[in-house]
Structure 1
Amino acid sequence: MASRSPTPTASQGRTPRRRPADRREVILRVAAKAFSGSGYHAVRLDDIAEAAGISAPALYRHFPNKYALFAETARSLADALAAATEAVPISPDDPTTELRGLLSALTAAAVDNRRTGGIYHWEADYLIGDDAQYVRAIVVAQHRRIRGVLYACRPDLDAASADLITAAMTSAVASPATHRTALAARQIVALITDAAMSLTDVELPPQAPIDRTGGGLSPTSKREVLLAESIRLFAARGFREVTIDDIARAADLPPSGVYRHFESKAAILQAAFWRASDRVTAMISDALARAATPREAIVALVTAYCDMCCTNNDILAVYASEIGNVEPRQRTELRAQQRINVEEWAGWLTRDRPELTPVQARFLVQAALNVTMDLTRPRRRPSAERVSALGLRLLLADHTPGGSHRVDLGQ
């Protein structure tokens, strides 16, 4: 009788699995996409491990917890931005060329990181200690260099205006990382760099006094009070840090009173987002009703949106950082409505500037919206009139009537 061959062991008969040399980099890339798309709190380490093709214990060998992984992705993104600007030669005799080079390099970095660059919207909210200082140092150094070159181009600028224009420029060139509209990378870089450069000689109106008293009457409906107080708490502390008890106390209700109107905290967030989406849609209709030409439509849209952002910046800040906490189907529907609104803006822009394709117009609209949202988030935000001037310049460039660089904001 022929002897039976021994049964192959687990190590025989198949090629052993090799650990990829760049496993840490793979984890970081997957994590950056997840954090960018869903926000910090909505991401689970098990999901990142699965997407990276590794086990959860293997991921923990590289990163002890979610915060450590998030901090490393934010540092990596900051490093990429620093490398992009450091490669641009300093040109004291030609500041315009240097400025264009810096903005082009940052736009290219945003295009390279379109699936991961959304982290910049909320890294300041979640980074702590040395991580926050590390990223902030890079952001501040980048801002100071661009501002210094801008000063060389326009020595007449006052400090506040130079800071505001610099912030608008950097927000504009980061905007390709905030949406998924398709266009060749080379065309994106050229289009957005030109738009950001158009801000170099924008004429800003004087800073108008801002009413911070929060005037007006508060709603009496318990549902409306709950929504208003929830948005305020989410903006101040983050969705995950706010409890139903916190919301109930702020609304002067027992916790059971919250559940009479909303089945969960996530349901409150979802209702708030739809309320914000409805406001934007209504704002577009109202603005168009006041316009008689495509140019008037664009001016009305920009000024109305800036006004809304300045008076409702809490909900917009929450939308930017907490959209990942809405259930996937609702998140998809919200983003679909957002795309419809962007296409409405873009349609009027192409009517006013027929040299633009619809896709190019959408990129410019996204840049203007991103700048508006970013500039109205800080506590010491500029007036709506100054933000409107920047948004209009991004959309219209030097295509104002008679070739003038000024845009009439009077409505």
Structure 2
Amino acid sequence: MASRSSTPAAPQGRKPRRRPADRRDVILRVAAKAFSDSGYHAVRLDDIADAAGISAPALYRHFPNKYALFAETARSLAGALAAATAAVPSSPEDPAGELRGLLGALTAAAVDNRRTGGIYHWEADYLVDDDARYVRTVVVDQHRRIRSVLYACRPDLDGAAADLITAAMTSAVASPATHRTVLAARQIVTLITDAAMSLTDVELPPESTPRIGPAGGLSPTSKREVLLAESIRLFAARGFREVTIDDIARAADLPPSGVYRHFESKAAILQAAFWRASDRVTAMISDALARAATPRQAIVALVTGYCDMCCTNNDILAVYASEIGNIEPRQRTELRAQQRINVEEWAGWLTRDRPELTPVQARFLVQAALNVTMDLTRPRRRPSAERVSSLGLRLLLADHAPRQSDGVQISQ
């Protein structure tokens, strides 16, 4: 007869469930991937618990709410970046070597965090108080150190140019965390570090008046177009979740019922906005290629066209970048499929101009240039399209600077 104190046997064929020793780390890894892929608002704690193989009450024992979990993932990412740069020794006698070390360390950190690094796109929008200050301190310290070493390499730079090149470098090395193109980690680090280092001696055109967007002009008469335009503006300014149908109706000078005559829901408006953004990028590619007669001309036209579009239609692209997690999965998959087609079009022309690149390497460079353009044009006080274009072209072409005979003007 078994002792009364014996542990009950597990059911036949089922192993007893043991609590993992690293449960908190598992939750953080799963949450970081979810936030990176879908953004803050689209993530549900129940989904994170399921993916981590635990119950919702077990998750709440570690994190009291979604914000606490998001803040911890953002802090962890910031801490990883701080540790990566802190490991690079200062080298006043070799500033170029130190700069390469810093950029290489950040690229390696982005590769290590490819499934989670996309958090940096929206951490500034949702973090508050001590969490925001911690992450901001890491970002600022990283920027200042890279800028200081860049100054040592380029003492001729003024403050605005040094800040802009530093921001472009850090955006380029973060870019592997924004897409899923497959390449060996060592090759990614070498390729992206080299591309970011090529910005060290980029010659920026004189700063012109930044184009914030079309000034004046006529508004569309179609109520559907008015609703779409006002919704995009509100989503960009306040975030999708903070905007109501009533807000949209007031902005479009319609009753709420008037909104539903054109769109069945707020999510349907967002979906239409995303396809509008995707269509604009696709149309820009066609227009750019129509102006080109050589692969080099195609690259220059693509970069300048995209930079100009980001500077003059920033709201719609900012919404696309930050709110894609708020549409249903099938539409998200279709939009990302179209995005991959567009990237492959760019990469095809790049490999024709630079045959030493493989198609996969070309896609990584295109993603870096696109990421830099998006990051530099998100702030309201953004640099001119001409300056952003020169940085994008340098990333793609490295030391293959555009020639006068290329026939497409960089400046618009």
Per-residue deviation at 1:216? 2.2
SS in 2 for 1:21: coil
Per-residue deviation at 1:13? 10
Contact 1:38 1:323 in 2 (8 A): yes
Q: Which moved more, 1:64-73 or 1:213-222?
A: 213-222
- Separation in 2, partners of 1:230, 1:329: 22
Per-residue deviation at 1:105? 0.3
TM-score, normalised to structure 2, is 0.94
Contact 1:400 1:407 in 2 (8 A): no
- Separation in 1, partners of 2:272, 2:4: 69
Which structure 2 segments of 5+ residues have no match? Answer: none
Per-residue deviation at 1:320? 1.1
Equivalent position of 2:212 in the other structure:
213
The change in CA–CA distance for 1:13 and 1:100 in structure 2 (over 3 A counts) is: closer
The change in CA–CA distance for 1:347 and 1:60 in structure 2 (over 3 A counts) is: same
The change in CA–CA distance for 1:112 and 1:5 in structure 2 (over 3 A counts) is: closer
Contact 2:301 2:408 in 1 (8 A): no
Per-residue deviation at 1:25? 0.6
Per-residue deviation at 1:3? 15
TM-score, normalised to structure 1, is 0.95
Equivalent position of 2:170 in the other structure:
170
- Separation in 2, partners of 1:213, 1:135: 28
The change in CA–CA distance for 1:71 and 1:407 in structure 2 (over 3 A counts) is: farther
- Separation in 2, partners of 1:67, 1:238: 16
Contact 2:297 2:408 in 1 (8 A): no
Equivalent position of 1:382 in the other structure:
383
Contact 1:84 1:105 in 2 (8 A): yes
Per-residue deviation at 1:18? 2.6
- Separation in 2, partners of 1:167, 1:90: 20
- Separation in 2, partners of 1:219, 1:362: 37
Contact 1:203 1:406 in 2 (8 A): no
Show CA shifts across 1:4-27 (max 9, x none): 999957799976533211111100
Equivalent position of 1:269 in the other structure:
270
- Separation in 1, partners of 2:130, 2:405: 47
SS in 1 for 2:357: coil
Per-residue deviation at 1:2? 15
Per-residue deviation at 1:93? 0.6
- Separation in 2, partners of 1:402, 1:26: 52
Per-residue deviation at 1:316? 1.2
Which structure 1 segments of 5+ residues have no match? Answer: none
The change in CA–CA distance for 1:116 and 1:401 in structure 2 (over 3 A counts) is: closer
The change in CA–CA distance for 1:95 and 1:406 in structure 2 (over 3 A counts) is: farther
Per-residue deviation at 1:317? 1.1
Equivalent position of 1:391 in the other structure:
392
Contact 1:202 1:406 in 2 (8 A): no
Show CA shifts across 1:99-121 (max 9, x none): 00000000000000000000000
The change in CA–CA distance for 1:166 and 1:6 in structure 2 (over 3 A counts) is: closer
Show CA shifts across 1:160-218 (max 9, x none): 0000000000000000000000000000000000000000000001110xxx6753222
**Amino-acid identity (%):** 90
Contact 1:400 1:406 in 2 (8 A): no
Q: Runs in 1 of length 4+ with deviation above 4 angstroms?
A: 1-16, 401-408
Residues 319-330 of structure 1 aligned to structure 2 (within 5 Å): 319-330=320-331
Show CA shifts across 1:199-239 (max 9, x none): 0000001110xxx6753222121111111110111111110
- Separation in 2, partners of 1:309, 1:184: 31
Show CA shifts across 1:66-123 (max 9, x none): 0000000000000000000000000011000000000000000000000000000010
The change in CA–CA distance for 1:181 and 1:3 in structure 2 (over 3 A counts) is: closer
Contact 1:398 1:404 in 2 (8 A): no
- Separation in 2, partners of 1:396, 1:96: 20
SS in 1 for 2:403: helix
SS in 2 for 1:198: helix
Is 1:45 the counterpart of 2:42 in the alignment? no
- Separation in 1, partners of 2:77, 2:41: 19
- Separation in 2, partners of 1:52, 1:217: 52
The change in CA–CA distance for 1:227 and 1:261 in structure 2 (over 3 A counts) is: same
